[in-house]
Amino acid sequence: MLTVETLTVTRGGRTVLRDVNLTLAPGRTLAVLGQSGAGKSTLVASVLGLLRPDHGQVRWNGAPLPRGAAALVMQEPRAAFNPRLTLRRSVQEPLRARRLPDDPVRLARLCRGLELPPESLDRLPGQVSIGQAQRAGVLRALIAAPPLILFDEPLSALDAMTQKHTARMISELQREEGFAALVVTHDLGYAAAHADAIAVLRAGQIEETAETATFFAAPQSAYGRSLVEAAVSLGALGRQTAA
């Protein structure tokens, strides 16, 4: 169980997050919604331990989040990899970092689940499609079986069809692996289709949290209502599940 308690983070003299409280159980997906500048990426960095909070704490099962317990899938697929290393070498880095042995059977199973051709792992990041690079990023996050995976705008660099396909594959692998997923996004269509719960982040503060169906049926905050109304008017809801 991930618990974020009264997290406050100041950067450059500005409070970016203020008294943020969140919980996330294994096997569930929490989508943190908010526009650019809301503090979503700071939240991700804080959960990963890359930023030290001014106040509050991040805990896993009541203790500090241990090293290797969380993995990150970044927004820009190719930029997430060393351009001089093959995808295979980068994907296996979490195993080396934790001194775990290579597991060819697990690697092959995950490649099948992500529909990632095994031969693509022997190419450089610039030699594969953006969609394949993003799936390789998910593969790297999964390879050492962390209980928590954070996704920072994971589909924004992909075209609409690839977005839907990749989102479905991630959801299927989550059912198999049982990891908790914290997704920061401004994509309400993705959140409606794939998240179990929603947290609305505005100007560094949580406006509301709710189960996904409850949020989209009756958002409680004025800002939450504005997000849903805008998504409805733009036809954004339902795109992730549309054929």
101 and 177 together in one domain: no
The pLDDT, as a whole number, for residue 236 is 66
State how many domains the chain has. Answer: 2
pLDDT surpasses 50 at 127? yes
d(CA 85, CA 32): 32
Q: Let me know if residue 6 belongs to a domain.
A: no
Listed residue (187, 195, 93) closest to 136, CA to CA: 93
pTM of the model: 0.92
- Find the domain containing 36 and state its range: 22-50+148-243
Whether residues 232 and 200 share a domain: the answer is: yes
Q: Are residues 182 and 220 in the same domain?
A: yes
Tens of pLDDT, residues 18-56: 999 999 999 999 999 998 889 999 999 999 999 999 999
Q: Does residue 88 surpass a pLDDT of 70? A: yes
Residues 174, 154 within the same domain: yes
Contacts of 77 (CB under 8 A, 6+ apart): 125, 130, 131, 133, 134, 136, 137, 157
Residue 200 φ then ψ, to 5°: -100, 120
Residue 171 has pLDDT above 50, yes or no: yes
Residues 152 and 164 in one domain: yes
Work out the average pLDDT over 196-215: 97
**Residue 161, domain member (yes or no):** yes
* Secondary structure string (H, E, C) spanning 30-62: EEEECCCCCCHHHHHHHHCCCCCCCEEEEEECC
Q: Looking at residue 219, which CATH number applies to its domain?
A: 3.40.50.300
* pLDDT classification of 238: cutoffs 50, 70, 90: low
Residues 156, 177 share a domain: yes
